[in-house]
């Protein structure tokens, strides 16, 4: 296998780390020195070799450890994975999409053998070799969505489409930025986006919904989102706020570089063929500030982005309390030089 998987944790002793190779391919989400919402959607076509865009579903050095963390979260709180009864077919769609993509893109790690509806799935990094009947739930240890998303990095929500709206009615959500599937399940598009400040008044959600209702099978799209997290913790759920929220009060100039992380979400959207549902994979990438500033362009730019950010967004993204501390620390790495357009480190 071409990837050396890290043995690391996302809680307690926080041994999570990015290798130099992982750092070099980190998806920095800011193409310019200012940030404001936009419907920044582009086709999810195979991108630069080695980048997180190279394949439909990126598998990286954190894969095995992330899946162990997911299993722990689910053991403590099974409601992080839910699927309303009418979403089972969409779960099979998702299982097929992920299995076909991974077997095609990483043949050294994953294999899918189809013989009619008798399928064999081999996942070498996790030591899985299962045979099952496609569309027959009784042949899998979990429902199809849960089975495959226990083996896929990032969170997943499944949206049913009806009455010119999208309804979030299934999902696997264990690496979220302070939101809850258990709270949102059953909501329509505008309902689950209601907490986001400013964007509603800008008409962003109306336009995004209209675009998504026309999303076509075979033409997936992607966008970035981002937020901040103290310590490399994947599971920052409202349900466990007491476990991670107070860490925001413990930052200072000496530890912010090591403990403050930029949290980047690579969000993709696919129309699913059999169910007509839409799947929304949200892949989370974490990078410490001290690693981030090793790329001079990123250090300079993040300083400027955070300085210019509307206060509502700093509050929504949960770092208003430490905003000044973060910008003061980043100021050391902003020499005022211009930054090049786009987010690639080497450009």
Partner 1 sequence: MSGAPRIHARVAEVIPVNALIKTFRFVPLDGGPVPPFSGGSHIVVEMNDNGTRRLNPYSLMSDPSDTSGYSISVRRDDFGRGGSLFMHNHVEPGMEMTISYPVNLFPEDARAKKHLLIAGGIGITPFIAQMAQMDAQNANFELHYAVQSRSLGQFGDELKRSYDNRVHLYYDDEGIFIDIPKLLRGQPLGTHVYTCGPKGMINAVHDLAEKAGWPKGAVHSEEFLAPPVGEPFEVELARSGKTITVGAVQSLLEAMEANGVDAPYLCRGGACGQCECDVLALEGDIEHNDHWLTPEQRASGKKIMPCVSRFSGERLVLDL
Task: Kindly list the residues in this chain that would bind partner 1 in the complex (CB under 8 A).
Answer: 43, 86-87, 89, 135, 160-163, 210, 214, 216-219, 273-276
CB of 331 vs partner 1, minimal distance in Å: 43
Least CB distance to partner 1 at residue 185 (A): 14
Which of 17, 72, 223, 323 is an active site residue? 223
| Least distance between partner 1 and beta carbon 45 (Å) | 11
Question: Which residues are within 8 A (CB) of 158 and not within 5 positions of it... i.e. 6 or more apart?
Answer: 83, 87, 90, 91, 94, 145, 168, 169, 170, 171, 272, 277, 278, 279, 280
Is 223 a known active-site residue? Answer: yes
Q: Which is nearer to partner 1, 274 or 321 (CB)?
A: 274
* Nearest distance, CB of residue 83 and partner 1, angstroms: 12
Nearer to partner 1 among residue 89 and residue 204 (C-beta): 89
Closer Cβ to partner 1, 201 or 218, answer by number: 218
Nearer to partner 1, 205 or 270 (CB): 270
Active site residues: 223
């Amino acid at each position: 296998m071409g990837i050396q998987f890290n043995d690391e944790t996302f809680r307690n002793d926080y041994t999570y780390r990015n290798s130099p190779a992982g750092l070099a391919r980190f998806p920095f989400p800011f193409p310019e020195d200012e940030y404001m919402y936009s419907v920044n959607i582009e086709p999810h076509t195979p991108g630069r070799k080695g980048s997180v865009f190279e394949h439909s579903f990126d598998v990286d050095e954190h894969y095995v450890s992330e899946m162990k963390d997911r299993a722990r979260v689910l053991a403590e709180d099974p409601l992080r994975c839910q699927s309303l009864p009418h979403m089972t077919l969409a779960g099979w769609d998702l299982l097929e999409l992920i299995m076909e993509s991974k077997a095609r893109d990483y043949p050294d790690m994953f294999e899918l053998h189809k013989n009619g509806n008798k399928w064999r799935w081999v996942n070498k990094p996790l030591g899985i070799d299962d045979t099952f009947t496609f569309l027959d739930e009784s042949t899998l240890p979990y429902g199809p969505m849960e089975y495959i998303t226990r083996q896929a990095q990032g969170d997943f929500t499944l949206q049913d489409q009806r009455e010119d709206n999208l309804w979030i009615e299934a999902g696997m959500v264990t690496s979220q930025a302070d939101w809850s599937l258990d709270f949102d399940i059953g909501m329509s598009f505008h309902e689950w986006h209601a907490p986001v400040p400013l964007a509603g008044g800008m008409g962003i959600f109306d336009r995004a919904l209209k675009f998504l209702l026309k999303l076509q099978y075979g033409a997936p799209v992607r966008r970035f989102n981002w937020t901040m997290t103290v310590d490399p913790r994947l599971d920052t759920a409202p349900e466990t706020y007491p476990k991670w929220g107070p860490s925001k009060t413990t930052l200072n100039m000496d530890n912010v570089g090591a403990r403050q992380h930029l949290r980047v979400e690579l969000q993709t959207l696919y129309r699913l063929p059999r169910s007509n549902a839409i799947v929304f994979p949200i892949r989370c990438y974490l990078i410490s500030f001290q690693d981030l500033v090793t790329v001079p362009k990123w250090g300079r730019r993040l300083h400027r982005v955070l300085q210019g950010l509307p206060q509502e967004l700093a509050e929504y993204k949960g770092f208003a309390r430490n905003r000044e501390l973060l910008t003061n620390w980043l100021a050391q790495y902003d020499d005022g030089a211009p930054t090049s357009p786009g987010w690639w480190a080497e450009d």
